[in-house]
Homo-oligomer: A and B are copies of this chain.
Amino acid sequence: MCGGCSAGSDANGTPANGTNGNAHPVQNRTASSPYQSVQDYLSNVGNFKIIESTLREGEQFANAFFDTETKVKIAKALDSFGVDFIELTSPVASEQSFKDCKTICSLGLKAKILTHVRCNMDDAKAAVATGVDGVDLVIGTSSFLREFSHGKSMAYIQKTALEVIEYLKGEGVQVRFSSEDSFRSDLVDLLSLYKAVDGAGVHRVGIADTVGGATPRMVYELVRTLRGVVHCDIETHFHDDTGCAVANAHAALEAGATHIDTSVLGIGERNGITPLGAFMARMVVTAPDYVKSKYKLKELKALETLVADAVQINIPFNNPVTGFCAFTHKAGIHAKAILNNPSTYEIINPEDFGLSRYVSITSRITGWNAVKSRVDQLGLKMTDDQVKQVTAKIKQLADIRPLAIDDTDSILRSFHAEEVEGSAAS
């Protein structure tokens, strides 16, 4: 549900004040927009948890090399931001990976610490030895992975899974069991396996779009089906190869998933997974109260900068919220309305993230309302007609060459000196 247009219905879409207490209940209901969709009973869009995997999936990003100091910094920043879980690279990956797991477990963070290992007893024992709160077990179940990766049958996978889960539960840690490449796994195999591990008492099962090929409707169908089969929580993990990772996470929550995997800026294998920031942008629109009360959105930019520096990348120009132009308005028709009421062209309030909007007047598509706002900011006094004249000048010049904000300020000041003060003096 979008901020600013939820009046008239509660979270379940029931009209408020159906027959009394509201002067215009019928008009309110008639005026409802599709943004006020009836929420499913299944939906967890206003009640989800984040499993932040920058220190696991993120370490699989081409540029990532995190030394211990960097890992600790990132873990602390994630914890401060408010993520529920922090997932770490398998302690079996290398000697230092094992030590780093122990180090991060000993920091005393509020977030629960998880590590992500293959579904076998050796890996599970190494995980427990690090002191993590939970272990995320993973195994490939698609025909592709069974044939070309580990070569194991579904029967073998299930038998091993149950043994490892029993061991981990005996050790008192949380257990998640996930398939890899869930969307290309046989549905009946997948549901049978998940029913079995649910019966064995796992805390979560995981659905992973490992190759990034799923669409929101596929996600909704599969998670909704799974929701009817298992009692435990449902975690989901979406790669972004086809640009759907944020929307898929949203669809998963709508279908009853409880946990979403993210990484800062989405870093991970290939072009990565659901980015924490873009996911926050999506969810602050869908469930503003939940998101604003739970996560320190004003820390997002610093968190992204920390990780971007650590892996030597630039924050993408088009990154939701923190991209350099996410709140820049340029077309005259937009600028006019934004200056009247920011909600006209902004679904997200930049101030929620400690950021501000910018109305550009340096192009040929600017309009006089935007220019008037800048004139006011500069403390110049002009009539509307004079603003229209100077706007024409700016558009003429911007038609020939790119203008900077300095250029337009100079034009405004010189126009003011010549036309306004000049004519007042004459």
Please give the residue numbers on chain A whose beta carbons come within 8 Å of chain B beta carbons, in ascending order.
2, 5, 30-35, 37, 59-65, 89, 93-97, 118, 140, 142-145, 147-149, 181, 183-188, 210-218, 220-222, 240-248, 250-251, 254, 265-267, 269-272, 275, 278-279, 281-282, 285-286, 313-314, 316-320, 323-331, 333-334, 336-337, 340-341, 343-348, 360, 363-365, 395-396, 398-402
Contact = CB atoms under 8 A, between A and B. Distances in A.
Contacts of A327: 270
Tell me the number of copies of this protein.
2
17 contacts: A33-B185, A34-B222, A59-B365, A62-B328, A144-B341, A148-B337, A148-B344, A212-B347, A216-B251, A243-B247, A243-B278, A246-B247, A269-B330, A271-B317, A271-B326, A313-B317, A316-B319
Contacts of A214: 34-35
Nearest to A149: B337
Interface-centre pick from A184, A243, A248, A398 (highest chain B CB count, 10 A): A243
B34 A183 contact: yes
A389 B118 CA distance: 22
Contacts of A31: 143, 186
A242 B282 contact: yes
Nearest to A218: B34
Contacts of A93: 364-365, 395
Contacts of A319: 271, 316
A243 B95 contact: no
B97 A325 contact: no
B2 A400 contact: no
A243 B360 contact: no
Contacts of A143: 31
A320 B215 CA distance: 15
B242 A365 contact: no
A347 B242 contact: yes
A3 to B, nearest CB: 9
Contact of A281 (B63, B89, B241, B247): B241
Given A35-B218, A271-B320, 19 more contacts: A2-B184, A30-B186, A33-B142, A35-B213, A61-B325, A62-B325, A65-B401, A94-B398, A94-B399, A96-B400, A145-B344, A211-B345, A213-B285, A216-B216, A242-B246, A243-B281, A243-B320, A271-B326, A313-B317
A213 B347 contact: yes
A204 to B, nearest CB: 20
A329 B148 CA distance: 15
B243 A279 contact: yes
Contacts of A396: 94-95
Given A242-B348, A243-B275, A314-B314, A220 B218 contact: no
A30 B188 contact: yes
A32 B190 CA distance: 12
Contact of A329 (B63, B149, B270): B270
